[in-house]
Amino acid sequence: MDVKSNCCLCEQPLPPRHRKYCERCSAKASLLWKRQERQGNRGAAYWLDHWLKLTGDLSAARREYNAYMRSYMRAYRLRRRTRRRERNRLEVTGSITGLAFAH
Ligand SMILES: [Zn+2]
């Protein structure tokens, strides 16, 4: 187990109970790490990883992903539409509360 004694960003000696960054650098360490990750992953279609594992081909993975998303969104819009219609119907008849005809 090697213990680093200098800050990873500015190479200053670390204060006690700090593992990687000094006090000043630890505030921006997350920002810098995220920026590095984004630069490393630029252009990579990470959302296709699962489909790539299934199909083994990038264009086939893209096709499968698009087909899945298309059918998913179609079902979602249908669900939303029927829910809205049902809600409107209930609001018109007043049967949400169940008190509309209970005189
Ligand atoms: Zn530092």
- Residues 6+ away with beta carbon under 8 Å from 19: 4
Tell me the CA–centroid distance for residue 21 and ligand 1, in Å: 5
Tell me the CA–centroid distance for residue 68 and ligand 1, in Å: 47
Tell me the CA–centroid distance for residue 25 and ligand 1, in Å: 4
Of the candidates 28, 61, 31, 32, the one whose C-alpha atom is nearest the C-alpha of residue 44 is 61
CA–CA dist 66, 98 (Å, integer): 44
- Residues 6+ away with beta carbon under 8 Å from 85: none
Give per-residue pLDDT as tens, 48-94. Answer: 989 999 999 999 999 999 999 999 999 999 999 999 998 888 877 66
Tell me the CA–centroid distance for residue 41 and ligand 1, in Å: 25
Residues in the chain: 103
Residue 96 carries which side chain, given as an amino acid letter? I
Whole-number CA gyration radius for the chain: 28
Give per-residue pLDDT as tens, 8-35. Answer: 888 889 988 888 899 889 888 888 888 8
